Chains A and B, each alone.
Chain A
Amino acid sequence: MSSPIQLQPDETFVLNVGPQHPATHGVLRVKMEMNGEYIVDAETVIGYIHRMHEKMGENKTYPQYLMNLSRMDYLGALGYSHGHVLVVEKAAGIEVPERAEYIRAIMVELNRVASHLFWFGAFVMDLGGFSPLMYALQDREYILDMLEAVTGSRLTYCYFRFGGLYNDIDDDFIDAARRFIPRMRKSLIKYDKLVTGNIIFRKRLEGNALLSKETCRKYGASSAVARGSGINFDVRKNEPYSVYPDFDFDVPVYHEGDSLARYMVRMEEMEQSLRIIEQGLDKLPDGPIMPKKKPKLIKPPAGDYYQAVETARGSFGVRLVSDGTKTPYRLKLRSPTYSNMHLFDESCRGMMIMDALAFMGSLDLVIPEIDR
């Protein structure tokens, strides 16, 4: 939205949003230069929760680093672990049994739905609606219970292993997942009625924070941010990995580029994830979840390896440079939110502050994942 008043740069003041602010969902600081309620310039300041994950990757052995990945994005942790195990398996030439790969995909998709649910609740709460958060958390709780029963933890899973999984899923899990899918579909209709159709919600988001394709490309945005601006890119489709080619699912793309488009993409992604889970459960092959010869010492041959995966927050890449020893020479983690967030500085100029916060909510930021 363009600002109706003429901005007077000499009459500005600096507003500090964060590092502890409910709207930033984590320890992110945004230094905003304001003219009244309009943003003249903004600068996102990151690094408040930097924990040297990449450096730790160079010091720890491969198996010891497994649990670090789930500490990056605490809402969609499994997607990140998936990227890491895949790149190490590629490097060390470890075969993964088919069943393990299917279970991984099911788990990652469940985790994606959980993550989107939390984003949905938090986003609507940013806009002033509280009940949707409670409903979303209730649905998310079913997923967390399922994941807890299998993996042993609720958020920071350490479930994937090189070559397979920590332990197998049981019939209870399969039953619970099958019961969950229709329930979640019903909930999606409920959210549609309660939020998507709501006139106040729509009026606030339509035309809010238009992002062009070029901006998205320039900053390397992915996930719903790019797909809401008409870029049809999903790593699961464009550079298929794991067992995703076996599944039939669509990539929702909207061309409007506003906050509502980003919202719609994520809401439809949940339905697509449910479809993948359904197919995964149907096709789930029997067999072992670890290769016959469990890889004991992991020492990938020297080389440069890369693997990208589609996490709940966008395309996450792991670049592994091995020098043939027990620890990586370099482990670069390409964080999707890092790119998605940096759009904000440029795009929020001239916006009103409440529009900018709605925009920030639509980006789905998880700060520990940016800082790593």
Chain B
Amino acid sequence: MVTYFKDIYSGLVSLFIGMEVTFKEFFKPTVTVQYPYETLTMTERYRGHVELIENDEGKPNCIVCGLCQRACPSACITLAGVKPEGEKKKVLTKYILDFTRCSLCGSCVESCNFNALEFSKEYNLASTRREDFIFDLLQRLEDRNK
């Protein structure tokens, strides 16, 4: 009988200790961000989908060596280039990233020896259409420079 009441007593005490914790938490400052009214800046190393890096003239650094395409485990990258008459380097004419398959592994960025690829800080990418995730990176680069 005594243990029965002791149990009830210690049980009640444990509940009050728990309530004290939640009560204290109630007055702690809010730590969440009211998205979309507030947003966070992405960290320096954040990995969004890949993006082409441009040189001073606003042209892509890429020399169409195709290493990134070969390194990609999911075959997301399709690229093409032409070699204009009299030029030494190839010029990029097409760079399509199929983001539906990309796993953001970074193999492409690491394999590029010409500082032509980087991760973007893009994270607002919701869409209901699959086509919205096929990015024309060359087009995006031109749009950026407009």
Contact = CB atoms under 8 A, between A and B. Distances in A.
Contacts of A64: 71-73, 105, 107
A193 B18 contact: yes
A158 B106 contact: yes
B10 interface: yes
A340 interface: no
B56 interface: no
Could you say which interface size class chain A belongs to? 20 to 34
A159 B44 CA distance: 15
A3 interface: no
B17 interface: yes
Contact of A138 (B22, B31, B106, B107): B31
Contact of A199 (B10, B20, B104): B10
Contact of A63 (B11, B25, B44, B107): B107
Interface stretch (A93-101, A148-156, A307-315): A148-156
A148 B15 contact: no
Contacts of B128: none
Contacts of A194: 17-18, 21-22
B45 interface: yes
A67 interface: yes
Contacts of B73: 60, 64-65, 67
Given A65-B73, A199-B10, A199-B15, A190 B45 contact: no
B45 A167 contact: yes
B135 interface: no
A193 B14 CA distance: 8
A149 B45 contact: yes
B14 A197 contact: yes
Contacts of B94: none
Contacts of B105: 64, 66-67, 158
B119 interface: yes
A247 B22 CA distance: 36
Interface string B44-82: 111100000000000000000000000111000000000
Contact of A148 (B21, B46, B72, B103): B46
A20 interface: no
Contacts of B12: 199
Given A63-B107, A135-B25, A148 B17 contact: no
A141 B33 CA distance: 12
Contacts of B103: 67, 71, 156, 158
A180 interface: no
Contacts of B17: 193-194, 197
Given A65-B73, A158-B105, A193-B17, A131 B22 contact: yes
Nearest to B104: A153
B127 interface: no
A158 B108 CA distance: 13
Contacts of A150: 45
A158 B14 contact: no
Nearest to B45: A152
Contacts of A63: 71, 107
B43 interface: yes
A149 B43 contact: yes
The listed residue with most A CB atoms (<10 A of its CB), out of B10, B17, B106, is B106
Nearest to B18: A194
Contacts of B104: 67, 153, 156, 158
B119 to A, nearest CB: 7
A199 B11 contact: yes
Contact of A152 (B10, B11, B31, B106): B106
Nearest to A148: B43
A153 B11 CA distance: 43
Contact of B45 (A66, A135, A151, A197): A151
10 contacts: A64-B105, A67-B105, A71-B103, A148-B46, A152-B119, A158-B105, A193-B21, A194-B21, A197-B17, A198-B15
Given A64-B71, A199-B10, A200-B15, 19 more contacts: A64-B72, A64-B73, A64-B107, A67-B103, A131-B22, A135-B25, A149-B44, A151-B45, A152-B43, A152-B45, A153-B104, A156-B104, A166-B106, A167-B45, A193-B17, A194-B17, A194-B18, A197-B18, A198-B15
